[in-house]
Amino acid sequence: MSTIIAAYEFFSLKSHLRVRIFHAIYKDDIARFSDPADSSESAVEASALPSWQVVLQAHAKDVVGGKKKPAVGGGKKRKANALDGDE
């Protein structure tokens, strides 16, 4: 089952339906990629983090995303043969 649902639709659903969707997606991921519990990766206690990572985490919550700047030239590309006629 690979169900794609828009975020605004998802959060308008009742909580028991959201849980069922999460469970279905999780089971689908296990079938495709194997169970994450069988992975060698594990979570680390916050007290075991290096100090630089703790400082980074403290500042990361204050980051505000900005609007993307448009590409130079409006993002349009010229055709390869448009100006190359006399060369």
pLDDT by residue for the chain (87 residues), tens only, comes to: 445 566 666 667 778 888 888 899 999 999 999 888 888 888 888 788 888 988 998 898 888 877 776 666 555 566 666 555 554
CA dihedral 65, 15, 36, 44 (to 10 degrees): 60
Alpha carbons 29 and 21: distance in angstroms, whole number:
12
CB atoms within 10 A of CB 59: 8
Which backbone phi and psi does 59 adopt, to 5 degrees? Answer: -85, -25
Residue 2 falls inside a structural domain? yes
Residue 77 falls inside a structural domain? no
The whole-model pTM stands at 0.37
Range of the domain at 2: 1-38
Residue 67 falls inside a structural domain? no
Number of domains forming the structure of the chain: 1
